[in-house]
Amino acid sequence: MSDSGNQSCLMGAEDTVSFLVCVFHAVEEWAGLGQLEDYLSVLEYLLWVFTPLAVVFILPFLIVILIYLSILFLHVYKRKNQLREAYCNNLWDGARKTLATLWDGHGAIWHGYEIHGMEKIPDKGPALIVYYHGAIPIDYYYFLANVIIQKGRPCHSVADYFLFKVPGFKLLLEVFSVIHGPQEECVRALRNGHLLGISPGGVREALFSDETYPLLWGKRKGFAQVAIDAQVPIIPMFTQNLREGFRSLGTLRFFRWMYERFRLPVAPVYGGFPVKFRTFLGDPIPYDPNINAAELAEKVQQAVQSLIDQHQQIPGNILRALLERFHTTHKDH
């Protein structure tokens, strides 16, 4: 309404109500409130568009929060049991079993987690478990929890060096027997009769693999040499729909350049979708003194690839993986 229009409105008002209506319209135009509804509509649309995007990037951080809550629990547990530490050789067994129960519950509720072939994990004695690395290896956490619960024993793990630099992670890594991965230390763990889990693809596979599930092992054969030196079997492992649960933006050129140039795994991870997870353990590959590390590494890679080919539809599809939560039986693909 123009100034002249406002003046005529005010002058032409015959009663108090009409006068107040004119005043309201004049103030509304002066303050620009007439466009407020349009602004709110735009904001509502932007909120509708970007809320799902925000959620899929926030959920991975919730996993990190859960990890830190686990660390907090360990610190509390340690303080509570200070007096028992000098008398008990297995101080952390209770903590490990408690956290294993929590993680197993999370897997069952959020992903309907299943393990097929758990009988292939020995109740006693060493074995090397070789697995495909997801954007977040949450399936491996569930696997570790099930080993503790079902087999009554921990499984040592090999992790990238950067995890040892994350503030607060030291206690968690120590309690769950996570090592940086020098071959001598891996062989020592196996010779002492422990289970040991390793992903030859490591961080590179986590960041740069995608819904087509390529194995990014390069020419790595150190894990095979470890198995040969320790004379232990290798058990291949793969989790169905792992890339549909969490995905990485590592395929974007900038994040790949950051990793290749500075070894910084900064590619954002998004997801947290409650898709169906099924972990499959392949037949153990026994120790064979007649093959070398390169031959054994190739044999193991073929075994993991066979699990992928048998149990994963390529390319992976998030909607299909979500619908699989409603299926009560497993069908090989």
Task: Report the C-alpha dihedral over residues 88, 93, 96, 98, rounded to 10 degrees.
Answer: -100
Per-residue burial over 261-295, b = 16 or more CB atoms within 10 Å of its CB, e = otherwise: eeeebebebbbbbebbbbbbbbebbeeeeeeebee
Report d(CA 246, CA 178) in Å as an integer.
Answer: 23
Report d(CA 129, CA 156) in Å as an integer.
Answer: 10
Cis ω on the peptide bond leading into residue 315 (within 30° of 0)? yes
Residue with tokens 């040969």: 228
For residue 1, the number of C-alpha atoms closer than 13 Å in the C-beta half-sphere is 20
Catalytic-role residue among 25, 75, 116, 133? 133
- Judge residue 256's burial from the number of C-beta atoms within 10 Å of its C-beta, 0-12 exposed, 13-18 middle, 19 or more buried: middle
Residue 128's DSSP bridge partners are 196, 234
Answer yes or no: are the C-beta atoms of 139 and 181 closer than 8 Å.
no
For residue 91, the number of C-alpha atoms closer than 13 Å in the C-beta half-sphere is 17
Rounded alpha-carbon distances, angstroms, from residue 47 to 51, 54, 58, 319: 6, 10, 15, 23
Question: Quick check: is 25 catalytic?
Answer: no
- Measuring CA to CA, which residue among 174, 195, 180 is closest to residue 120? 195
Q: Residue 239: count other Cβ atoms within 10 Å of its Cβ.
A: 28
Q: Which residues are the active-site residues?
A: 133
